[in-house]
Amino acid sequence: MPNSYFQNYIPVLVMLGVVAFLAGAMLVLSYLLGQRRPSREKLAPYECGITPTGDARQRFSVKFYLVAMVFILFDVEVIFLYPWAVIFRELKLFGFVEMLLFILLVAAGFAYLWKKGILDWTKSDSGEFG
């Protein structure tokens, strides 16, 4: 029944409301209760006591983007595995062979990434992939 299905989620919504209220209350309370004596040095971003140089939002290693992209690819593949695993008992050996082919394809992609050095964090950024 779709009705009772959605009913399961009502407590989650209530929980979200309570938790959001709690987080908001904490922010407001600490804003109200804390003393406030700002000074220029106190408001400066922390840089080990030295006057900050330049903007903090600088360019950073492209490796982080690569990891994010690879993650999305593989995470989608993991999501395919979840429903398969849940009904696996009914699929039996047929399901196993089907998924083995899929996993082999994933593994081939993984091996390619590995060989290209995407997974080597220390490799210099000036390689083929940026």
Residue 126 per-residue DSSP state? T
Among 116, 117, 119, 129, binds another protein (CB under 8 A): 119
Among 1, 2, 36, 49, binds another protein (CB under 8 A): 36
Contact call for residue 22 and another protein (CB under 8 A) = yes
Numbers of helices and strands, H then E, in the chain: 5, 0
Q: How far apart are the C-alpha atoms of 75 and 94, rounded to whole Å?
A: 24
Q: How far apart are the C-alpha atoms of 83 and 125, rounded to whole Å?
A: 38
Q: With helix as H, strand as E and coil as C, how does 75-114 read?
A: HHHHHHHHHHHHCHHHHHHHHHHHHHHHHHHHHHHHHHHH
Q: How far apart are the C-alpha atoms of 113 and 120, rounded to whole Å?
A: 10
Among 1, 49, 50, 82, binds another protein (CB under 8 A): 82
Among 1, 2, 42, 115, binds another protein (CB under 8 A): 42
Among 86, 101, 124, 128, binds another protein (CB under 8 A): 86
Q: Which residues bind another protein (CB under 8 A)?
A: 7-12, 14-16, 18-20, 22-24, 26-27, 29-31, 33-38, 42-48, 55-58, 60, 63-64, 67-68, 71, 74-75, 78, 81-82, 85-89, 92-93, 95-96, 99-100, 103, 106-107, 110, 114, 119-122
